[in-house]
Every structure is written in C-alpha cells, then in structure tokens.
Structure 1
C-alpha cells in the first residue's frame, strides 16, 4: 500500500508533464543530447519549426532497417545540411558533425533518441560502439548524408 501511495503522489506531483512521464533508459545519451542537441531539436526532441525536425517518430522507424541505422549514425558523425520534409513540414538547417564524440557517446545518444524519445521503434536493436566505429571507418560527407536521406525515407514508406 505504501508503494501505491508513493506512486500516486509522484503522478500527482508530475501532473501531465512530459518530462516526468518520460522513462529514461539511456541517461548518458540524454545528457549528451541535452548538452549538444537540445538547442536545435528542443527538449524531448520536439524540434523547432523551420529549423530542426522533431526526433520523436522517424528515428524509431529508421533504427529498424540497416539503411536507416547507417543514416542515423552518419548524420551524427558527419552532420547534414539542406532542406528536408518531415510530415509535410519543411526544415532547412545545417546540423553540425559530432565526430568528436566517442563511439560509445554517439551510440548512447542514438539509443536515447530511438528508445527514449520514440514510443515506437519496432524491432530495432540498441546501437553499440562497435557499430559506430564501423560507420566511422566508412565516412560520408554531410551532403551525401542529405542525399541518402531521401532513399531511406522512401524505403521506409515515410
């Protein structure tokens, strides 16, 4: 009964706040996201109209395919620039490269985005440092990341 009362008190204290409702599995990834990505993609990955797309749906879908996983990894490693469309909204910004982060840090932030910010991620498996290391060994520049995005989006039917 004490546990039920504690849980009820916590729920009441949080109200309808997304921050309280969000269970974080990848705290290290959240810390990196909050320090590097939140300025453009905003808290909770909600995005910023016209500038940075939301990260609360597509990354979860990308992570279930090999091409999508590569795209996510290369986007963090190399950055991406140019116009994109997400759910009939246009965005045009230059995402910087985060290649200075370690392979483990990139894997952690991708896991935070895919599993903590996305309610649906299908059969996606967590990223690990070895997967990021392999992507780093086959570099792609930011313009190629942008060009490849269209194929990933079409391949996933988004």
Structure 2
C-alpha cells in the first residue's frame, strides 16, 4: 500500500502531462477535461473493466439530439449502474459535475466529440447543457435514459 501511495501522485502527474502535450489551458476543453474528467477517464481511453473509454464514442452518441441530451444529463446528474461501452461491460459510477458552468461542460463534450472519427464533429452547446441542468435526475435515471437510447439505436 505504501508503494501505491508513493506511485499514485506520479501516475496522476504523468496522465495530466499526457493530456496536455499540445497547447492546453485550464479554460480550454482539453484543460477542463484534464482537471475534471481525466483523473478517471485518463486521456479518454478509460481503464479496461473499470472506467469506460470516451474517445471514439462521444462523437457517435452526440450525433443525435437525444444523444446530446443524454451526454449533458450524464455530466449534470452523474450515471450509475452497469453499461456496455464498445461491447465491454462496466459497472459505472460517475458523480455529477453541476459545479461546472454550462459553457465549460459544453467545451468538454465538444472537445471529446472532436477526438472521434465523425466529421464534422458534433457540437454540444451551452444551451444543451442548460436544458439538462433544469431537470434533476438520479444517476440511476440517467442509466435508464441510456438503456432507452440503446434500445432505439445501439450506443457505442
């Protein structure tokens, strides 16, 4: 355990450095992602079996209005429960990020969307996030929203 306590801060520092190899400021989508999401989702690849990847998925989910609503709901309300991402099972437990401003959440989601293959990359607006902020949902309700979306069109 002592070894892990010494190693963990170094791993976090390395992950942060990896996220911001390009011009990365705290107010950019990449910078906001790094300080708020990167600690769990790392550079967007997640952690196999523990934290789902985001890169290559957010853009595909955001390609519909319902998908953009779901993504904004995830950041506003968190999500909890079993999900599949890229066919792999995860027992997701993500907290809400309501402390962020609508524009900041939109920047994070749009930056993640831009890292996928969809061209042009879907854009998530502050208005999308503001709409999600108006209705509080439990993290379990957000997981149900995901299940409904997945039934209509399989989510990545």
TM over 0.5: yes
Q: What's the TM-score, normalizing by structure 2?
A: 0.77
Per-residue deviation at 1:154?
2.9
Deviation track 1:83-142 (CA, whole Å, cap 9, x = no partner) reads 111122111131110001000100000001111x2122x565412212211211122221
- Alpha-carbon offset, residue 21 of structure 1: 9.7
Give the conservation status (yes or no) of the 8 Å contact 1:110–1:127: yes
Tell me which residue corresponds to 2:113. 114
Q: How many residues align?
A: 136
SS in 1 for 2:28: helix
Q: Aligned pair in 2 of structure 1 residues 97, 29: CA closer, same or farther (>3 Å)?
A: same
In structure 2, the residue matched to 1:13 is: none
Which of 146, 150, 153 is the matching residue for 1:149?
Answer: 146
The structure with the largest alpha-carbon Rg is: 1
Distance 1:106 1:20 in 2: 18
CA–CA separation in structure 2 for the residues paired with 1:154 and 1:21: 38
Distance 1:20 1:110 in 2: 17
Segments of 5+ residues of structure 2 without an aligned counterpart are: 1-17
What residue in structure 2 maps to residue 70 of structure 1? 69
Unaligned regions of 5+ residues in structure 1, if any?
1-17
Output the CA distance in 1 between the equivalents of 2:113 and 2:30: 11
For 1:33, the equivalent position in structure 2 comes to: 33
1:110/1:55 CA distance change after superposition, 3 Å: same
